[in-house]
Amino acid sequence: MEAKDIRAECACGQAKLVLSGPPKTVMLCACRDCQKSTGSDHSTLGMWADAQITFIGDSVFYAKEAESGATIARHRCPNCGTPLFGISSRLAGHQLIPLGLLGEQANQFAPKSMIFARSKYEWDHTSDGLAQYTTYRDS
């Protein structure tokens, strides 16, 4: 399904995103870094090309080398702390958008896989039926 001009904003409305067109992929990630960032078993992320994203507002970020070896910069609203987007050194020209930011518009995009499934908790069955990758996808 093709998405056109999806608009999203943080909890306080200071930061806004406009996404033009569908994401390249949608995935769950159960790496320890995503678990700490979300406070949950996994993150649910859409990957959009930089050219598809318009960002309005301010963000602060925390960058660190993840267990995978990639450096991840996680951007949040400086006022309310809402996660806005992530930039990975492994994904040049793309940004990872947490689907929860999209509200009901996220219903258009179903995850296709879970990466870092080796770290998922036994009680989380969200990824049942999805392709599972121990670390990153093969391609």
pTM of the model: 0.90
For the sheet with 53-56, list strands across it: 6-9, 16-19, 53-56
Tell me if 125 is assigned to some domain: yes
Q: How many domains does the chain have?
A: 1
Query: CATH number, domain at 81?
Result: 3.90.1590.10
- Residue range(s) defining the domain that contains residue 81: 6-132
In a domain, 137, yes or no: no
Residue by residue, pLDDT tens for the chain (139 residues) are: 454 799 999 999 999 999 999 999 999 999 999 999 899 999 999 999 999 999 999 999 999 998 778 899 999 999 999 999 999 999 999 999 999 999 999 999 999 999 999 999 999 998 899 999 998 876 5
For residue 3, what pLDDT is reported?
Answer: 46
Asked if the structure places residue 72 within a domain, the reply is yes
